[in-house]
Chains A and B, each alone.
Chain A
């Protein structure tokens, strides 16, 4: 299955294998490439992903502990309200001194939701082109894994700035000690884009500062790596690079997005 499958049967099986999650390494990389370049194949994968989704939901239900509902709500409160605890974001979030309104949604979350849609659309593009690769060149996008043989995942995010042509593209291979960042249109004489990951507790953690224009590799500490999970919120502020990383971001947030696996 490593060669481009031409036979209908081969394509069908490859689509099933990709949707099922059976592939890794070169096979996975090539299947992903085909998925990105061939709409018919991508449609096949989607059909099978939908079918396998049914399989997951066909598992018999079990009643969870009653406390779980409150736990879930508490986690979401922390997620949505946590930023409100940071004075820098007071104008951008719900009033943390007031009980959360059920229908209230903070501005940064709306931004993240909108950005995640864009990121989904562009995730495939990023995988191949964000660091200058062309779509025609083979590139392994999922590593074979470490010594333990576990396939590692690749995470991407695209954050769109407030002005046209401003982007921050992020690429991280699970387990890597650096984060690849490419910023476009954010050059500034005194400030640089500082990246933040905002985990479930709502407290932003600095990932470091990038160049305002061009690519940079940010060193990633072991303490921060666990926060880089599928669906993690990433934000960007413009900060003085001289004393970075900072303990807390300085407003305004110029871009918010979601980290996604591909």
Chain B
């Protein structure tokens, strides 16, 4: 899966981001080297094909170049911040491509597979984050719904349409999962 290291320590990525905010292109290229595999992986996961993922990854890096000054440590890790930009760009791309859809079935199925998350996160400096661990502890139904919604950018309504279940049923199931997630994060 990973044939090369793609992660600098968070502090170094944060320093690169600060330099990028000042217009430092060399720092930007170093940031690209450190994070492009991660962002491309996110875009691939949501878009489902490499051509689209390439376009969206490009768009994501342009946004990072434009918005680097908006990053603050309070927003979380720099990689998580960049990952969120890529995820949102990928979801936006898909919505534009297929109005009425939120993401491909492939993306939903792939996104809803939590197994792919755990190994990767152990390789990062995010080991203190409990959310992956807590998601793993959810029941399969709740886990799939929550991850599917997250990586497809679906609202409750869109999720209900997608899986053909009544809106209130979907809300109840997702909310139960979110409550369990919160309890796990607080107590585990």
22 contacts between A and B (CB under 8 A): A13-B179, A49-B76, A50-B75, A51-B129, A54-B121, A55-B117, A55-B131, A57-B38, A57-B42, A61-B41, A64-B53, A64-B54, A68-B40, A71-B58, A76-B28, A79-B65, A103-B26, A105-B22, A110-B23, A113-B69, A116-B69, A117-B69
| Residues of chain B in range 161-188 having any CB-CB distance to chain A below 8 Å | 161, 174-175, 178-179, 181-182, 185
Q: Do the beta carbons of B62 and A72 come within 8 Å of each other?
A: yes
In the complex, chain A residues whose CB is within 8 Å of the CB of B147: 55
Q: Which of B77, B132, B161 contacts A53 (CB 8 A)?
A: B77
- Additional 19 contacts, C-beta under 8 A, given A116-B70, A151-B157: A20-B150, A21-B153, A52-B150, A54-B77, A54-B80, A55-B131, A56-B80, A56-B83, A59-B42, A60-B120, A61-B1, A68-B58, A72-B62, A76-B28, A76-B61, A102-B26, A149-B157, A150-B95, A200-B62
Closest B residue to A145 by beta carbon equals B157
* Interface 0/1 of B107-133, CB less than 8 Å to A: 000000000110111001010010110
Residue A164 at the chain B interface, CB threshold 8 Å: no
Contact A13 B175 (CB under 8 A): yes
Query: A61-B41, A76-B28 are contacts. A56–B58 as well, Cβ < 8 Å?
Result: no
A46 at the interface (CB under 8 A from B): yes
Interface size for B (C-beta < 8 A) is 83
- B185 CB contacts on chain A under 8 angstroms: 51
The residues of A that contact B44 with a CB separation of less than 8 Å are: 62
In the complex, whether B37 has a CB less than 8 A from a CB of chain A is yes
Does B57 sit at the interface, judged by CB under 8 A? Answer: yes
Chain B residues with CB under 8 Å of A120's CB are: 70
Judge whether A16 and B100 touch: CB under 8 Å.
no
> B177's closest neighbor in chain A, by CB?
A16
Number of interface residues of A (CB under 8 A): 60
Could you tell me if A46 and B120 are in contact, using CB atoms closer than 8 angstroms?
Answer: no
- A34-51: which have CB < 8 Å to B? 46, 49-51
A58 touches B58 (CB 8 A): no
The CB with the most chain B CB atoms within 10 A, among A16, A23, A100, is that of: A16
Q: Tally A-B pairs: CB < 8 A.
A: 209
Enumerate chain A interface residues (CB-CB to B < 8 A): 9, 12-13, 16-17, 20-24, 46, 49-65, 68-69, 71-73, 75-76, 79, 100-105, 109-110, 112-114, 116-117, 120, 148-151, 200, 229-231, 233, 258
B24: contacting residue among A71, A79, A102, A151, CB under 8 A: A102
Q: Which residues of A contact B179 (CB under 8 A)?
A: 9, 12-13
Q: How far is the CB of B79 from chain A (nearest CB, A)?
A: 5
Chain A, Cβ-Cβ closest to B95 = A150
B97 interface contact, C-beta 8 A: no
Closest residue on chain B to residue A57 by CB atoms? B83
Question: What's the least CB distance linking B158 to chain A, in Å?
Answer: 8
Chain B's closest residue to A151 (CB) is B155
**The residue from A24, A61, A114 contacting B6, defined by CB atoms under 8 A apart:** A61
Bound-complex Cα distance A250 to B117 (A): 52
Q: Contact between A57 and B80 (Cβ–Cβ < 8 Å)?
A: yes
Which residues on the A side are within 8 Å of B137 (C-beta)?
Answer: none
6 tightest A-B CB contacts, nearest first: A105-B23, A61-B37, A57-B83, A53-B80, A50-B76, A102-B25
Look across to chain B and name the residue whose beta carbon is closest to the beta carbon of A68.
B54
Contact status A75-B77, CB under 8 Å: no
Q: Is A55 within 8 A of B41, CB to CB? A: no
